[in-house]
Amino acid sequence: MAAASESQGLKIAVAAFITLSVILSVTSYFLYGAYSSADARATAANEEVIKVKKAQSDALNQYDEMRTKIGTRATDFEPASEEIKGHFKKLDQRLNDLQNQVNTAVQKVEQAGAQGPELTDTKNKILQAIASYRSEPNKSYISSLDRMTELMENLSLLSTELSLNYKDLRDRLESATSVAKTQVDVQAKAAEASRTDLEAEHKKHEEERQSLHTRVDQLTTDNDKKSTQIANLEARLKQLQDDYGREKETLIAINREQRDRLERQETILDHPDGYITYVDYEAREVQLNINRRMGARPQMVMSVFDAASPGIPTEKPKGTIELTKVGEQFSVARVLKTINPIDPIRTGDIVYSPAWSPNTPMRFALIGKIDVNRDGRDDREELKRMIQEAGGVVDYDLPPLEVGKETGKLTPRIDWYVIDDRMPFREVYSPRSEPLLLLETQLKKRMGEVIKEARLDGIRPMPIGRLLNYLGYDINTPIVGRPETINEKALRRITAPKPQGEAAAKPAAPSTGTPKAEEKPQGEAAAKKAEENPEPAEPK
């Protein structure tokens, strides 16, 4: 039993030993594998550290070598970088100075007479290299050396060109000096010969001067005699001029007086503008031989004179008419006013307008204050309107200074100048101050100058009273403004031919009520009805 127990214990011990041996072997295997991996990693890490240290050492050596080649004194990176930047700034300043020196040197050489495009080309290359260096965005040591080398090459070329030009200039100067010396010698010989000739001429001129002195003395005596004669002739001429001036003034005064006298006694003016060809006393209308081709137009006011008048009496019209319709062959006018009822307008009477002539409007000049209705105030605008309605034109106007400014130009084309020398019906108060008196004096002076110029130009005077009579103006007649529209239908109805015979003789019966639709008024009644009830007007 004991032996069996020991055998059993031994088996158990052997089995446990074997188990532990296997476990130890496996454990040792794994531990050895882990150790091998760790050792390999440590070896690789050591090798990497050695490489890094070597790279750092190489980088430091290369940095020192590069710094030594660049020439910086600082050992650290930041001070070395600042030193390089400062060097670049100094280099820019030196390039600026170099550019100015190059420009100055080339300019001096060109002013001295250097020729050829080489200098300009070399200078441009230098300036281009400097500009290229400045404009380079990333400057480096190598690029800077390249630009400096290019500048040195161009500077060498420039120095060579300057030397060649200097030598050429010196040779030319020596040649010019030699030529100039030769010319100076020639000029010196010529000057010596000229001096000899001048002395001979001077001697000759001195002899001639003595003879001329004698001649001058004789001429002076003759000149004194001539001066006395000229003085006597000038005195005589002045006396004749004074006599001529007085005679001229006398003749001008006599001419002016005769002209004024003739104008005051004048009874005939101008020539007729047309004739009356038909008279309708009932409708107070007349027909004229004036047409549209002559330049006539509606609303022109004209004066009528007797057919037996030898011309046109100045201030004795028979009446006044106003054109209402202007046709291609004749015109129709309405009678505005008849001066003498026992001497009505008849066929053959003369028609005249001071502001219009066939195919030519009459031109007027208004001088001074124009008082149409004699109320003491200036009415030149109203007179201009009447002249324009009569077909005339106002080319020149000289109003009082407080009314307006002088307009237009006084020319010989003007037919009449109008002045108003009438006294107003009532006095108009106006302050009598020195400025107003000065304005009146200036106006009177200017009026005198204009009237004198008008007479010299042959422009005839027209008193305003005579002109207003021609224009048919009546101081008691209210002024009617210019119509803006014309009722063409009413005008045609008024100017239509009147019925003849019994229908024309029968007067229109007065209506007590509403007239029948078929009854139509005739003659003067029709015209009155058309005027009382005009149809809608049509614009011009």
Q: Which CATH number belongs to the domain containing residue 374 in this structure? A: 3.40.50
Query: Is 380 in the same domain as 455?
Result: yes
Query: Is 56 in the same domain as 81?
Result: no
Which stretches of 442-521 are assigned E, i.e. beta strand?
A: 460-463
Q: What is the pTM of this model?
A: 0.36
531's CB contacts (< 8 A; 6+ apart) are 490, 494
Rg of the chain over CA atoms, in angstroms?
A: 63
What mean pLDDT is predicted for residues 37-48? Answer: 84
Residue 124 located in a structural domain = yes
What mean pLDDT is predicted for residues 477-496? Answer: 66
Residue 141 located in a structural domain = yes
Of 450, 470, 490, which residue constitutes the final position of a domain? 470
Name the residue among 316, 261, 320, 324 with its Cα closest to residue 287.
324
Residue 447's Cβ-count burial label (10 Å; 0-12, 13-18, 19+) is middle
Query: Is 48 in the same domain as 150?
Result: no
Name the residue among 377, 217, 206, 347 with its Cα closest to residue 287.
347
The Cα 176–Cα 10 span in angstroms is 140
Name the residue among 278, 290, 285 with its Cα closest to residue 493.
285
**In the Cβ-directed half-sphere of 345, how many Cα atoms lie within 13 Å?**
31
What is the domain extent for residue 33?
Answer: 12-63
pLDDT higher than threshold 60 for residue 213: yes
Residue 209 located in a structural domain = no
Token pair, residue 442, equals 């200036």
Residue 38 located in a structural domain = yes
- With cut-offs at 50, 70 and 90, classify the pLDDT of residue 274: confident
- With cut-offs at 50, 70 and 90, classify the pLDDT of residue 416: confident
Query: Is 370 in the same domain as 428?
Result: yes
pLDDT tens per residue, range 339-370 = 888 888 989 888 888 777 776 778 899 998 88
Q: Report which of residues 524 and 263 the model is more confident about.
A: 263
356's CB contacts (< 8 A; 6+ apart) are 273, 295, 296, 300, 302, 362, 390, 391, 392
pLDDT higher than threshold 90 for residue 286: yes
pLDDT higher than threshold 60 for residue 476: yes
Of 442, 470, 498, which residue constitutes the final position of a domain? 470
pLDDT for 87 equals 74
- In the block, tokens 């046109």 appear at 312
- With cut-offs at 50, 70 and 90, classify the pLDDT of residue 503: very low
Give the number of other Cβ atoms within 10 Å of residue 330's Cβ: 15
Please give the tally of structural domains in the chain. Answer: 3
pLDDT for 365 equals 93
Residue 500's Cβ-count burial label (10 Å; 0-12, 13-18, 19+) is exposed
- With cut-offs at 50, 70 and 90, classify the pLDDT of residue 185: confident
